[in-house]
Amino acid sequence: MATRTNGAGEYGGAPRVPDSKGHRADPAPRPAGTAVLDARPAAGNGTAPAQAVDARPAPPPDRRGWLRRKADQVLDRVDTIGLSRALLKEAAGLARHPVATLGALSRYAAGTLVAAGATTARLAGAKSEGPVPVPAKDRRFADRIWDDNAIFFALLQLHLLRERLAHELIGAAGLDEQAARKARLASQLLIDATAPTNFLLTNPIALRRAFDSGGLSLARGARNFLEDYRLRGGSPRQFDGATFEVGKNLAATPGQVVYRNELMELIQYAPQTATTFAVPLLCSPPWINKYYVMDLAPGRSFIEWAVKHGHTTFAISYRNPDATMRDVAMDDYLLRGPVEAARVIREITGAPKLNLAALCLGGTLATIYLAWLAELGRDEVNSVTLTNTLIDFTEPGVLGNFVDEQTQATIGRLMARDGFLDASAMARAFHLIRANDLIFNYVNNSWLGGEDPPAFDLLAWNDDATRMPAMMHAAYLRSCYLENQLARGEMVMAGKRLDVARVRQDAFVLAAVDDHIAPWRSQFKTTTLLGGATRFVLSNSGHIAGIVNPPSKNAAYWTNDRLLGDPELWLAGATQRRETWWEEWSRWIDVRAGERVAPPAMGSAAHPALAPAPGVYVMGK
């Protein structure tokens, strides 16, 4: 098994060591006790992950009292993002603003009287509207029984009144914007959890199904609940796990692992056309979850699409971190990820340049890579495709609720103990963002309705979660979300201060209109930050479904050749096209991919095939 060394960095000089923000300073002796990846290229292909040296210096003394430490330990585990603390702040704010609080409570009381009157009228056969209209897009209450039955109408109106009260109380508390956003998320979660659809006796659809099935749906629902409690700690199952298998019907595009180091495997995909474009394509995925979101089920795989359209395609598959990787930094992901992958691709194909296609965090890293190359004066990349990627983090959407200083401190304490941020903590955070879709929807259908979850490849991928190394993740949250260093030209990576305006490659920037992770208007700012010609395309659907966008009758996207600098002006002048954006991307990338030539060999003498795709690292749990 390979071990870490203290050799020189890849580009000469002393090895780079982490500073207090998780970057590497150039050059400096490595402090005793740090455990980081060697920045040099591995000799040959490498065979296995390196082992960390767990000899870190002792942490500074904890000056919190015993009771505070114990309370923080409990809250860190059960409430990583600080929702309970946000509600306590809201309660304190309401106590400081009694007049505004009483006003909100008075409006709630008046609303209940109106709802009671409307319910009485409906019981008498009259049609009377309630005080709060039902949101048109709320599928939970789409069945007509919520309007036709007076009792269920009353339950719905009381739920909507509680929701309105919760929103008004946040306004009455006089909180700052960050605290108000987090309190809004917490209170909305409580309101959604107590919705009448989540309880058998107040869910008319579940009651109807129980009656129609002679109670069989209740028996099945009880079975589903007990299985979820036993196997998943009470989290409802979202998909049929028996349907999908990585390497069979997920991540199934044929290929070979042609390189491996302690951080990633590089997969080369077998050509499926007689000739291929001369410029190879490197796919840079995020390492939050696994790479095969870019190679999902056959017919729904972006990588398969690229291969079938004549691109010699490679993809990075990152290792699932464990405690031995606690001191791996963002610099390591740069140097041991795309930098090393590009070197191997050049050696295998003989091509002097490559095209990059990157997603989410992998797109942020791809932009860092291009800016870093610009500082070195190296011209190794011909074009870049950034899909659902943030470069400017000023307005990060709902994820902004999770990256304030207090939450950063909580996550830091968790990672200091474990060496990583556990996948379950990230999964809980993402589920809370869309609790109705990702939690309560399955409570209704599976536990109350007795239905088995569907077979859905995206949810199977989403459940195959990964951990995040402590040093890297702390640096990423601070440098990007808290300080917006990349967009401001203040990020230092592998010894270079980065300026994204020096990235002059042609860029295809793809956003999704319903993206809640990387809001499309924030992604639009990329068009004014990069220094090259940019093509901005807006896809339908959300963060992941907008990427997994094969040809279908529902596929659509918007384009506008005039960027104008303002997303609203761009959208007002955009044209909708009823096809997948993959078609638009193919037309764009083909003219930047060189001539058609004979496909290169799979691997080379220096980089022979190590394992069939999808490789070893993707199987790591």
Query: How many separate helices (H) and strands (E) can be counted in the chain?
Result: 23, 19
Neighbours of 213 (CB within 10 A): 14
Helical H segments across 149-203, by residue range: 150-172, 177-193
Strands 492-493 and 420-421: unpaired
283 a catalytic residue: no
Q: Which two tokens stand for residue 108?
A: 């709630």
Closest residue by Cα to residue 239 from 437, 452, 428: 452
Burial of 435 per CB tally in 10 Å (0-12, 13-18, 19+): middle
Contact assessment for residue 259 and residue 344, using Cβ atoms and an 8 Å cutoff:
yes
Least Cα distance to 389 among 451, 480, 315, 299 occurs for 480
Answer positive or negative: Cα dihedral of 50, 51, 52, 53. negative
Structure-block tokens of residue 354: 């490559």
Taking each helix axis from N to C end, the angle separating 423-433 and 177-193, rounded to the nearest 10 degrees, works out to 80
Judged on CB neighbours under 10 Å (0-12, 13-18, 19+), 595 is exposed
Catalytic residue (one of 86, 166, 360, 618): 360
Q: How far is CA 187 from CA 295, 342, 441, in A?
A: 37, 47, 18
| Active centre residues (catalytic) | 360
